[in-house]
Structure 1
């Protein structure tokens, strides 16, 4: 991520935590108010423990939810299938949330010398908790999707450094002045890289990372050992595995790794 993306991610993360804190306070006060009206006697500490353990259990599911948002969707799956898979994932995640929440509460109650009892009639209580969890789950999914979209939009190239237009490539006694916008793709080859330029291949002594930095944002990495010029890409075809093939303007087909699929489709 660039600097703008990191700053945005930090702001979004801080906002998310502040929102959770506000929700916790609101839920605790609402529960205490309901208990008072119903004549139920419960300590404020216990109500806070209930809410805190629920939030903590939900936070442990965040990496899984983020993974789902990042990997389940077009072009790998159509939107109806993606929505179905995300809905299906709510069942095991809700069970995880409920189970971890109960165990954390049991640990606290045991530490104070008492016993925590969650289930009255298990099937009814699980269904009740799942219905509540479904709303929280989709809020997490929605936040993750919106955050990822915002962070990806912030992936703009730096404007303070102008990409070079010419790449100098030594070839024995000859130094080629290679226009960057005429290079179609670059492949790593040991201590060298192979530059595909004007129907020929030039061998350039450099690392792929160094060449990528020198070529600038006009090129995108599609594999750990391969770069392509964005403007040369004519088609991207994704396999079931998530790997993909890009077809360039001159008809060249190059394989790409699923790890880099999002970068070539942005």
Structure 2
């Protein structure tokens, strides 16, 4: 019986995390929507204040419709943007090519945004019994919107990339914990149990229903099979050199191979042990 470290939580996907990666994705997208609402609120009041300063009274309802229809259109265009970022991003695509491809995608995504925005405004104006005309201050509404959409798309791509990166890191499984090497081996001797430091055990040999443990120049008998002891000591650097013997690898000082392929190992105590050729790679690897 060996001493082993207690088990704990792995902190992985089903460990200490309080919610799933899907939930985290929706939460972050919700934050993105809230940010958009805050922005259009600022834009609306800034627009009304600027127009009032020029002596032009603006109906707040129309100001809100202008901004909200644009935001609603971008929320829909977020869907193709999401998949575009997932497919075109480092390390799948180099930074240069990813930047160029996303710049090309600005055009179709901007046209999609404009089409949806205009459709929403036509519907809203129709419901209010009014007529909407797609225009701009410079007389080129499509070009005017495209210029604004370039900046919006770049910001959206960077935000989506950050969200996907955060979710991927959150959902990644925790690295597997390597088994901890035992510190001692409990060896029963009548009513007494000795806890032998593993680092002081030189080798172990099968002896019928027992194993013989070489420790500090002594030979201690322990009721166990060699296979069971091998399993317990494998993570502590012990290796089989013969069907009936294990050695602590860092106690091996020299390996001498015979013509037959068998070999001898010289231990730190000066003792020489015979090894079988089928196990030679255990100490030479």
CA RMSD after TM alignment: 2.9
Q: How does 1:1-150 map to 2 (within 5 A)?
A: 2=13, 3-119=19-135, 124-150=140-166
Q: Deviations over 1:66-91 (max 9, x none)?
A: 11111113454322111111011001
Q: Which has the higher helix share?
A: 1
Match of 2:211 in 1: none
Pair 1:28–1:12, CA change in 2 (3 A)? same
Contact 2:21 2:171 in 1 (8 A): yes
Contact 2:21 2:170 in 1 (8 A): yes
- Give the superposition deviation at 1:112: 1.3
The CA distance in 2 between the partners of 1:53 and 1:9, in whole Å, is 24
Structure 2: runs of 5+ lacking an equivalent: 1-11, 14-18, 179-230, 232-285
Structure 1: runs of 5+ lacking an equivalent: 164-178, 180-266
Are residues 1:155 and 2:176 paired? no
Contact 2:138 2:144 in 1 (8 A): no
Count of equivalent residues: 164
Q: Deviations over 1:238-263 (max 9, x none)?
A: xxxxxxxxxxxxxxxxxxxxxxxxxx
Match of 1:248 in 2: none
Q: Deviations over 1:6-32 (max 9, x none)?
A: 343233122112211111110111111
The CA distance in 1 between the partners of 2:63 and 2:42, in whole Å, is 12
Q: Which structure: larger Rg? A: 2
- Give the superposition deviation at 1:123: 6.7
SS of residue in 2 equivalent to 1:61? helix
Q: TM-score, normalised by structure 1?
A: 0.55
Pair 1:98–1:149, CA change in 2 (3 A)? same
SS of residue in 2 equivalent to 1:60? helix
